[in-house]
Structure 1
Amino acid sequence: MAVSKDIDGSASVPAFYGKELRWKREAAGLTLQQAVAGSFYGVSYLSEIERGQRRMPMDLARHVDGLLETDGFFARRCEDVRKARKSLFAPYFQDALEMENSAQDRVEWTPMLIPGPLQLEPYIREIIHTFNPQDDEAQVERKIAARRSRAWVFEEPEGPASWVVLHESILRNPVVPDQIMAEQLEHVAAVARRRHYVPQILPWNAGAHPFMMGSTLFMTFGDAPPVMYTEGMYSGQLIDEPGIVEQYQQAYNRLRAAALPPKTSLKMIEDAAEDFANGTHARRLERRDLAHEQLQHRPGRTLRRGR
């Protein structure tokens, strides 16, 4: 029989709640299958609650209270856990966050920022200070910890298969000082080199293309239809209507076709990291822009981007 991986109950309120649920269930000698019998929920759903990755629905909380004879404990604490999750992540991201934990595949487009699960602490701190300057240091630290808690999506082998398209402006227009950007991009490249996700860079001169506004995330599942999540600066929307999701998926395929190949994209990220580290980033861009301008104005020549 496989040994259950221990849960760190100190990590968060949901983790503490889930660990207590697992302890009560195992103390009663019940398997996950036996615990969900008679409810409307599956084994994987309850398992994710025990690991602190999903919030407990009230009807399921009442079900386990009756089964485990816990005098209404899980139903009473259900709302506390929901509020704790909302304090760590934006309310509009809650449903997408829970789905991310069970996604088999995820594809993502980020036009201006490195994806959240790939961000390191200095980069996260700069973004928080820019978007939420009113946050005090304690709030900033909690948000940093919450965002880094999603690093497993890209950095761990058990994370979902991922494909990410980044706009070249991320490499050209850093939002943090050069040395921090160098460290951040080297991290992005290192995770890609471990084959934990596939990167593609959309060139700055690619012209009109799908998804020119806002970031987009697609997720597919083994036992449910695919969904799409799109986010602006202070809002987000989860879309699960099949016809609309299909339209967006087709548009994303066109976006990937317009982007550079993965190997070329990874080399660009590595070169940018080296340039930021050496202080040569600005000079490289000036040389490239000058060469591009000269080629555009050469008589009888039409600029074409190679595949």
Structure 2
Amino acid sequence: MAKRKDLDPSTSSRALVGEELKHARERNGLSQTALGAILFVSGSYVGQMEAGIRRIRPEFGPQLDDALGTGDFFTRTTKSMAKSKYPDHFAEAVEAEAEATEIREYSPTLIPGLLQTEAYAKAVFRAYNPLASDASIEEDVALRLERAQILDNPTTPVLWVILDEAVLRRPVGGPAVMAENLFHVAKLAQEHRIILQILPFSVGAHPSMEGSLKLMAFEDAPPLSFAEAPGMGRLLDDPAKVNQHAMLFSLLSASALSPQDSLALIESVAEDYAHEEQH
């Protein structure tokens, strides 16, 4: 079960509400598993809410108030907390990402959002939604760059990224955009801010051919896995599923190039794009 360290005045409202949930649950003599049964979620899910990693969904508010005798506290607060700058399917993942101490990600098709440059992100969003206004695209790009600010911390989170070679070879936005973004990723690896591996085409079949992987670990709560598809996504807290995804990531890492060879490859491909742009 999740444990939470003492909160300081700067703690986010989500974490403060999570602390209130923990106090109310313990006051009523309920375990996380017992409260989860009332909400039809796992005990780990309750632990994530108490730790402020997952928001308490609005539909849980009335159930919590009934079960914990808290009047309409959770009904009111969950409604106000439901607003997010991000799409509903992605909001929880972004919030969890910001709290993670370690993120492990395998990307088969594009440079992950945390590593994207402005020009690359703009090309991706325009491809997603060719009919969107320029203002809408600019807003999406700004949010993506805002997410990447978690890398401003020199040590946390630990970010371990495995990129399929296809990510390097698909010229998103054209040669200049690709060169810029690949050099950016290489710089982060050179500065030891990220662990970078490339899964080469020569590997052939591999354990995650069906899609991407994203695993997040936390200091005081169970780990999560994020499953994503176009226009939808889901945080997974089932220990068996999270462990399965962790095993897949380990197998991918074992098949991928070493960090040193990966850096050499990404720099070489970036140089090729830069040369192509010049000529």
Which portions of structure 1, spanning 4 or more consecutive aligned residues, are displaced by more than 4 angstroms? 35-41, 44-48, 53-59, 72-78
Amino acid in structure 1 at the alignment position of 2:124: I
**Aligned residue-pair number:** 243
1:92 to 89, 94, 105: 89
Amino acid in structure 2 at the alignment position of 1:274: E
Q: What 5-or-longer segments of structure 1 have no aligned partner? A: 8-14, 23-32, 63-71, 283-307
* CA apart distance, 1:91: 1.4
Q: Give the SS at the match of 1:228.
A: strand
* CA apart distance, 1:234: 2.0
Q: Distance in 1 between matches of 2:94 and 2:25?
A: 21
Change (3 A) 1:157 1:213: same
Contact kept in structure 2, 1:155 and 1:196, CA below 8 Å: no
Matched, 1:255 2:252: yes
**Cα displacement string for residues 49-71 of structure 1 (whole angstroms, at most 9, x for unaligned residues):** xxxx9757776xx9xxxxxxxxx
Q: Give the SS at the match of 1:210.
A: coil
Q: What 5-or-longer segments of structure 2 have no aligned partner? A: 1-7, 27-47, 66-71
Q: Give the SS at the match of 2:197.
A: strand
Which one has more relative contact order, counting CA pairs under 8 Å at least 6 apart?
2
**Cα displacement string for residues 188-232 of structure 1 (whole angstroms, at most 9, x for unaligned residues):** 111111211100000012110011122210011222222111212
Q: Distance in 1 between matches of 2:277 and 2:177?
A: 14
Amino acid in structure 1 at the alignment position of 2:141: I
Structure 1 residue aligned with 2:82 = 82
Contact kept in structure 2, 1:104 and 1:219, CA below 8 Å: yes
Structure 2 residue aligned with 1:160 = 157
Q: Distance in 2 between matches of 1:37 and 1:157?
A: 32
Q: Give the SS at the match of 2:240.
A: helix
Amino acid in structure 1 at the alignment position of 2:222: P
State, as a whole percentage, how many aligned pairs show the same letter: 36
Structure 2 residue aligned with 1:134 = 131
Contact kept in structure 2, 1:215 and 1:232, CA below 8 Å: no
Structure 1 residue aligned with 2:109 = 112
Amino acid in structure 1 at the alignment position of 2:93: A
Amino acid in structure 1 at the alignment position of 2:82: R
Contact kept in structure 1, 2:49 and 2:55, CA below 8 Å: no
Q: Distance in 1 between matches of 2:262 and 2:277?
A: 19
Normalising by structure 2, report the TM-score. 0.73
